[in-house]
A and B are shown apart, each in its own frame.
Chain A
Amino acid sequence: MSKWVCLFALLAALSSATQLRAQGNYEIQVYGADTIEPKSTMIELHSNYTPDGQKSQVDGVYPTNHQLHETLEITQGLTSWSEVGFYVFTSWQNGHGVQWVGDHIRPRVRVPDSWHWPVGVSVSTEVGYQRAVYSRDTWTWEIRPIIDKYMGRWYWAVNPAFERTWHGPDTKQGVGFSPAVKLSYDFNPKVSGGVEYYADYGRLGAFDSLHDQQQQIFLVTDLNVSPKWEINIGVGVGPTANTDHWIIKGILGRHFSWKKPSLLD
């Protein structure tokens, strides 16, 4: 019964939507398919600074230029194939000080290892609110398939995300397509480097012109200093007119296990 309710809600959400407005640069990350283990928590701080972005206020939204976004992400493992994440978005900007921006919740499920799929696959859905001065659309929803694979020293991940607005001026603008892709190479056990690509092409079936699309390319490095820590640093460039031109991003994550360590488990 419940799955039919969910399916109906999904179809209703998709059918009533007509356009998307991309969220700001609060969490810049290409997801891997793996999920957090049960009885463990990942706490991540996403720090994103825009040295060269939108310089004027548009539709009542603060300009992104020289904004520092600090996002706290807390992800709790539920089962060996599911997790749920919570986000707290904040922004600092000269003249506005530190401001709370909004919160999101993101459940995620993945294909269990026992299915023996040749690639990692998971699906997340993210729902949340952000204040109108930071995003025209206050309530948004996203569904994000995630496919990834390690191949020797190479790693790739693809996140073809679909987004829509539930409340805001773009409520009737439909479902938007926002893919993200990562390709990286292991230089050694501790250091990987690669490229991450983020885009918002606009409404499905009627993509925006290239001029109006959002596209960002980041050069990134992942530092695998310990299984307990996650470190990702990158510098991104936005080549289209509708994209912030320069962004610096960093992710610092710490894994906490609530299981009592035991050789017998």
Chain B
Amino acid sequence: MLKLSGLTVAAAALDVPAQQPADYTIDIAAFDLDVAARRTIKTIAYNRQVPGPLLRLEEGRPVTIDVTNQTGNSEVVHWHGLFLPPAVDGAMEEGTPMIPAGGRARYTFTPRPSGFRWYHTHVFAGKDLHKGQYTGEHGFLRIEPRDNPARYDQEIFLALHDWDGQLLASGDGAMDPAYEVSTINGRVLGFGEPLRVKSGERILLHILNSSPSEVHWIALAGHQFKVVALDGNQVPQPQVVPMLRLAPAERVSALVEMNHPGAWVMGEVRKHIMAAGMGIVVEYAGSRGKPQWDQPNQLTWDYLLFAATGPAPPPQPDTVTIPLVFESKFAGHGAMDHWTINGKSYPETASPALTAGQRYRLAFHNRSNNDHPVHLHRHSFELRNLPGHAEIHGILKDVILLDAGTQVEVEFTADDPGPTLFHCHQQNHMDAGFMMLFHYV
């Protein structure tokens, strides 16, 4: 049973007598993040740490989380990847109340499904590249399943993030955010503690790309990744790959066999982002010396690798297809592009009606020159059609990266009534109209 309880501002909350203590508390407040020895980022964070605290919740067991907003702006916390009622999902557009500046709220919900999820702010940033997802307001959610999908010796959570953005002219003629600092868990390469491992261990990495707008490619020198889950959902075919690609808001869970003792670098494959700091040292017990990095010579990633084997079942005959065309609107060489879905920008975008129990196919057509990590709230979708491939099945996600100029199809079952937000997870795109709201009839 999912419910919202006492999601109110401080004054009203004071009227609630003898409220039970929450299971968790999150304070949203300004924070000086030392990303390097001589570099401090002034940002906003959860509980004065970046990433925010890891919340380990049990699938199906109700939880209460008190959130206080000590900033000067309204806030809201989105529980990304969970199937929650709109009132607590954490999107104002769906009806979740904002937490006013100086106010607080109590989120009460029953977390599901199990897997690697995350929580983050869901506010408008616009041209302010120190608000919204540009800040350190993100943290890991681990919804514990009854059975773990893989056996491992250590579980490590890593968040990729980009900082100190500014709007600069980009190759497509518009302004886009560009970043000076890139971090893993809030630190640049060489600053902070290494990941300490032992020879023979199996490490389960849970990697989140919390970047406001950047796709990241991650490799671990001397090792490979066995991808076991995407966006927290087990994949039908775990596969060993040399590198991971994560679009904003995507998560990858991967096993690594620690069978190559030494000191190694795990970091961004692209040189300029590694140079901006996105890396972390992985150090075997007893190993010393300079961490080694093997520069890959190409970028490789394909969702298809992880799809179920065998021919995909045909779509259910009553599946309803909803075509969604994404395009940009030029706003000047000195501005960020505006974005449209089927020709309209939010809040003018259409609000397609969903019928509970009905299967839907979303036919994405990205007619722009940009890639888009699109996200559906409160549901998971199944990848069905990727560019250049026959129908696939078995991969469940809540974010998929649409390459520029491509078409992709996903399916989902409308099984969670209520307003359901769909948007590009690139902060500057969703702020500029790339958003729409499904509603149930």
Interface residues of A (CB under 8 A from B): 34, 113-114, 116, 149-155, 186, 188-189, 192, 224, 227, 263-265
Contacts and interface: CB of A to CB of B under 8 A. Distances in A.
Given A114-B180, A224-B173, A263-B299, A152 B332 contact: yes
Interface string B306-326: 000000000000000000000
Nearest to A34: B169
A151 B269 CA distance: 34
A94 to B, nearest CB: 41
A176 B168 CA distance: 34
Contacts of A149: 334
B333 A227 contact: no
B171 interface: yes
B404 interface: no
B173 A189 contact: yes
A261 B330 CA distance: 27
B272 A265 contact: yes
Contacts of B297: 264
Contacts of A153: 331-335
Interface of B: 166, 168-169, 171, 173, 175, 178, 180, 269-272, 295-299, 330-335
Contact of B270 (A154, A192, A263): A263
Summarize B's interface: helix, strand, loop or mixed.
loop
A264 B330 CA distance: 29
A34 B333 CA distance: 14
Given A116-B166, A264-B295, A265-B270, A154 B332 contact: yes
13 contacts: A150-B169, A150-B333, A152-B334, A154-B332, A154-B334, A186-B333, A188-B330, A263-B299, A264-B271, A264-B296, A264-B298, A264-B299, A265-B270
Contacts of B270: 263-265
Contact of B330 (A114, A150, A154, A189): A189
B173 A150 contact: no
A149 B167 CA distance: 12
Nearest to B169: A150
A102 to B, nearest CB: 33
Contacts of B296: 264
Contact of A113 (B168, B269, B330): B168
A160 B255 CA distance: 61
Contacts of A263: 270, 298-299
A150 B334 contact: yes
B175 A150 contact: yes
The 5 closest A-B pairs by CB, nearest first: A150-B334, A153-B332, A152-B332, A152-B335, A189-B330
Nearest to B334: A150
